[in-house]
Amino acid sequence: MQNRTKRRIGVPEILAPAGSMESLKAAVAAGCDAVYMGGSKFGARAYAQNPEEDEMVAAIRYCHLYGVKLYMTVNTLLKEQELQSLPTFLRPYYEAGLDAVIVQDMGVLRVIHQCFPDLDIHASTQMTLTSGMGVDDRLAAYGVTRIVPARELSLTELQQMRQQTKMELEVFVHGALCYCYSGQCLMSSMQGGRSGNRGRCAQPCRMQYDIDGSKRYLLSPKELCALPLLGEMIEAGIDSFKIEGRMKRPEYTAYVTAMYRKYRDLYLELGSAKYRVWQQEHAAEWEDDLRKLAEIYNREGFTDGYLEEKPEQMLADKRPKHGGVCVGTVQDVDKHQVRYRLERPIFAQDVLEFRGADGVSIYEYTTGSSYHAGELVQTRYQKGCRIAKGDRVFRTRHQVLLEKIRQDFVESTPKLT
């Protein structure tokens, strides 16, 4: 019953997250090859805008209209009584041409393969697969065609895994990182009363903890960005570049998808040597694209995760949410007003945040006008806010960029090819 859209051999798939129909359509417009999405049950993002049956069937048909695959997440641990209802839940999507299911639970894997033997199964990163040895023999018999390795693997270990298995490898390249080992987090249920392995992560890693009298976000990782390593990952034989973000807004999904599509295609067109030359000759464009990725979402910048084995660069201990991009520095302050010099232009409806040396937010406001880089901007601030000379100003909402993304991807209908 599947609609098996063919992809060119050696061309890594761009796999985008879809936490809503709006995000799904934005991802398709931005050039993804596939999307992954949860249904109304059994997915690891219970708080996303997961579609009901009719909408999910429509999503599958919409994707196939544009030659895009749709993978459904069935990646939580199920209870015995839930396993009994799983085939009935999946059947409408299977009959609509669902391309694959992403699975963590071995019992789920067995039930799906028994009921839908020609439906591809992707082994979730939550299976904690750290080696390709034995995978072909043990998992292929259950319909597994792709594995998503544990996220703790380095690029070298992924290269070794590529040599150990014939199965497709799907690797996360962008988005949020968990502090825990893949699929092994018990802290959420112990501390927050609900389990990430049941789709209801309480995110204890994004909470503040006290150490030696100092409160910091001790367990909060930065956002992953593997775009600078894209060439190495292509050469390593990775089959699918996976973007995290089913809980993020459609503009995020669209722009991140568009950037990975742009540079994947460019690398495949130019080859390794010419791609490096292009990066040098177009350094301003390259840096601007990376900066815009940070404008969309970052946590104290980016990390390449475990790919290059730099654990000391992974944590964002000052704030657990979007960090924005620095646009200026405070020059002087009086009782009622603050003046800051701009390093970058700002626009009406941008959201700006003043931060001290410790990175903690002091004051936030929405701009009413646009200003050029180099200008001295003056604004009133809330009484009691301790803004000081030298404090930095960060933009956490880039209004013009968001409007451009919405115009290009979120509100547009892609052309049929």
What pLDDT score was predicted for residue 81? 87
What pLDDT score was predicted for residue 187? 84
Structure tokens at 61: 């048909």
Specify the CATH number for 325-403; select among 3.40.50, 1.10.3450, 3.30.70, 2.40.30. Answer: 2.40.30
List the helix and strand counts (H, then E) for the chain. 12, 18
What pLDDT score was predicted for residue 7? 46
What is the DSSP track for 124-159? Answer: -GGG-----TTHHHHHGGGTEEEE---TT--HHHHH
Nearest CA to 225 out of 315, 305, 150 is that of 305
What pLDDT score was predicted for residue 47? 65
Contact (Cβ atoms closer than 8 angstroms) between residue 234 and residue 267: yes
For the chain (417 residues), the mean pLDDT of every run of 10, in chain order, is 51 97 97 95 69 94 98 91 92 98 95 97 95 92 96 96 96 94 82 78 89 90 97 97 96 98 98 97 98 97 94 90 97 95 98 94 96 97 93 98 97 79
Query: What's the gap between Cα 318 and its chain centre?
Result: 21
Using a 10 angstrom Cβ sphere, with 0-12 exposed, 13-18 middle and 19 or more buried, the burial of residue 49 is: middle
Give the integer Cα–Cα distance in Å for 265 and 12. 10
Structure tokens at 381: 């601030």
CA angle 161, 166, 168 (to 5 degrees): 80
Q: Which residues share a beta bridge with 329?
A: 341, 392
What digits encode the pLDDT tens for the residues 153-187? 999 999 999 999 999 999 999 999 988 888 788 88
What pLDDT score was predicted for residue 415? 77
Give the integer Cα–Cα distance in Å for 392 and 334. 16
Task: Locate CATH 2.40.30 in the chain.
Answer: 325-403
Give the integer Cα–Cα distance in Å for 362 and 186. 34
Give the integer Cα–Cα distance in Å for 42 and 111. 14
Q: Which residues share a beta bridge with 102?
A: 73, 122
Q: Which residues have C-beta within 8 Å of that of residue 261, sequence separation ≥ 6?
A: 14, 30, 31, 32
Task: Find tokens 């200003």 and name the residue.
Answer: 371
Fold of 13-279: TIM Barrel (3.20.20)
Give the integer Cα–Cα distance in Å for 231 and 276. 9
Give the integer Cα–Cα distance in Å for 173 and 15. 10
What pLDDT score was predicted for residue 173? 98
Structure tokens at 189: 């249920």
What pLDDT score was predicted for residue 45? 64
What pLDDT score was predicted for residue 116? 98
Task: Locate CATH 3.20.20.70 in the chain.
Answer: 13-279
Give the integer Cα–Cα distance in Å for 57 and 182. 30
What pLDDT score was predicted for residue 5? 45
Give the integer Cα–Cα distance in Å for 323 and 300. 5
